[in-house]
């Protein structure tokens, strides 16, 4: 039997999409958490995969060096290297995984592969208070929208998911219709804070705990086309109210399913994860509903909501404890 080191120091790398991130954790505590976001994609209104992988190649060494420097540790003090194995853009994942593999090989320490969405959920185990099992996690990002029932760190069931677009996509595509730059989610949130819900969009009618956002997007498109025909300045004159109305429609759909999930399972420990959990309206809705429904709600601090490597590190910490390591010939997976 291997003796456990007195400290579990893990360097974690996240490169699944357009953020190059590295973090160092000691015994599950975050010593450093560095994120370099790629601004180049703004020019194209969305993430361009080839440009994303090139930018990861340029950023990965300085980002890892900075994370190590901020942590106060050096490479020889690490017990494992963790990386995002998938899902994500394959070229982006290749940069992070190749880097992690080479470093683990050179240092002769284990490699830990982490599922990106699992990492978003387990980000709840970075700050206090940590949720107790079982809990439900509404996981909302640019690529996923799920309700996950978590029974243990690595024992979970996806009990609801989107059948088309993700919630983040709904925000970003709506923003694009309004002429806002990518990624539009945070901008809709910003404008919505100065607006009121004045326009009504149809609510998706999807059975069970599943979600759908594509109909809402079409509804918004037709609404804007009709209004702009009558007044070409409609968008600029009403931007905050339009944003507040779009945000409200997305949040209502998310909250409706989350409430049903809690009622059906009887679980009142409710967590929010993924990039869209940075949305102020969604945060408020969960907190308010939580008070009414006597939920215990868990919303991670902002820096652990959007893509970051600390969430990969905390997942890797529990994998280290469970001795779940990755073979040296591992390869990333776009779909995982």
- CA dihedral (190, 139, 299, 216) positive or negative: positive
The residues that touch ligand KG4, with contacts defined as CB under 6 A, are 17, 141-143, 168, 171-172, 183, 185-186, 189, 274-276, 278-279, 306-307
> Least distance (Å) from ligand KG4 to the CB of residue 135?
19
Please identify, using beta-carbon distances, which residue of 103 and 311 lies nearer to ligand KG4.
311
In this structure, are residues 330 and 97 in contact, taking their beta carbons and an 8 Å threshold?
Answer: yes
Tell me the angle at which helices 90-107 and 49-71 cross, rounded to the nearest 10 degrees. Answer: 30
Please identify, using beta-carbon distances, which residue of 26 and 92 lies nearer to ligand KG4.
92
The residues that touch Zn ion, with contacts defined as CB under 5 A, are 141, 307
> Least distance (Å) from ligand KG4 to the CB of residue 208?
24
Residue 279 binding: pick among Zn ion, ligand KG4, none (C-beta 5-8 Å cut-off by kind)? ligand KG4
User: C-alpha distances in angstroms, 168 versus 141, 160, 185, 228, 279?
Assistant: 5, 16, 7, 25, 10
- CA dihedral (191, 194, 198, 202) positive or negative: positive
Please identify, using beta-carbon distances, which residue of 144 and 319 lies nearer to ligand KG4.
144
In this structure, are residues 99 and 64 in contact, taking their beta carbons and an 8 Å threshold?
Answer: yes
**Which residue's Cβ has the minimum distance to ligand KG4?**
275
Helix %, strand %, coil % for the chain, to 5? 50, 20, 35
> Least distance (Å) from ligand KG4 to the CB of residue 45?
12
Please identify, using beta-carbon distances, which residue of 186 and 215 lies nearer to ligand KG4.
186
Q: Cα separation of 118 and 24, whole Å?
A: 18
> Least distance (Å) from Zn ion to the CB of residue 250?
17
Residue 113 binding: pick among ligand KG4, Zn ion, none (C-beta 5-8 Å cut-off by kind)? none
In this structure, are residues 109 and 37 in contact, taking their beta carbons and an 8 Å threshold?
Answer: no
Please identify, using beta-carbon distances, which residue of 10 and 311 lies nearer to Zn ion.
311
In this structure, are residues 148 and 137 in contact, taking their beta carbons and an 8 Å threshold?
Answer: yes
> Least distance (Å) from Zn ion to the CB of residue 84?
9
> Least distance (Å) from ligand KG4 to the CB of residue 182?
8
Please identify, using beta-carbon distances, which residue of 104 and 123 lies nearer to ligand KG4.
123
Residue 189 binding: pick among ligand KG4, Zn ion, none (C-beta 5-8 Å cut-off by kind)? ligand KG4
């Amino acid at each position: 039997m291997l003796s456990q080191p007195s400290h579990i120091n893990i360097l974690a790398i996240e490169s699944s999409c357009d953020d190059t991130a590295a973090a160092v954790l000691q015994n599950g505590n975050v010593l450093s958490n560095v994120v370099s976001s790629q601004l180049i994609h703004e020019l194209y209104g969305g993430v361009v995969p080839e440009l994303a992988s090139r930018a990861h190649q340029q950023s990965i060494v300085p980002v890892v060096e900075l994370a190590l420097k901020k942590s106060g540790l050096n490479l020889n003090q690490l017990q494992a290297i963790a990386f995002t194995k998938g899902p994500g853009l394959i070229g982006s994942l290749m940069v992070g995984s190749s880097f992690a593999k080479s470093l683990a090989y050179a240092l002769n320490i284990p490699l830990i592969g982490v599922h990106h969405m699992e990492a978003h959920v387990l980000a709840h185990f970075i700050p206090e208070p940590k949720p107790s099992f079982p809990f439900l996690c509404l996981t909302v990002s640019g690529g996923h929208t799920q309700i996950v029932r978590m029974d243990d760190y690595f024992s979970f069931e996806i009990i609801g998911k989107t059948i088309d677009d993700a919630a983040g996509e709904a925000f970003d595509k709506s923003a694009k219709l309004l002429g806002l730059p990518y990624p539009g989610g945070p901008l809709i949130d910003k404008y919505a804070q100065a607006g009121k819900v004045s326009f009504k969009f149809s609510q998706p009618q999807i059975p069970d705990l599943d979600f759908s956002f594509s109909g809402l997007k079409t509804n918004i498109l037709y609404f804007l086309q009709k209004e702009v025909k009558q007044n070409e300045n409609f968008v600029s004159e009403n931007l905050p109210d339009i944003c507040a109305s779009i945000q409200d429609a997305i949040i209502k759909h998310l909250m409706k399913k989350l409430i049903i999930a809690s009622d059906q399972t009887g679980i009142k420990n409710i967590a929010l994860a993924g990039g869209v959990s940075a949305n102020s309206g969604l945060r408020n809705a969960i907190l308010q509903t939580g008070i009414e429904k006597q939920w215990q709600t868990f919303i991670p601090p902002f820096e652990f909501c959007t893509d970051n490597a600390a969430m990969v590190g905390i997942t890797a910490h529990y994998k280290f404890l469970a001795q779940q390591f990755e073979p040296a010939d591992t390869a990333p997976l776009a779909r995982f």
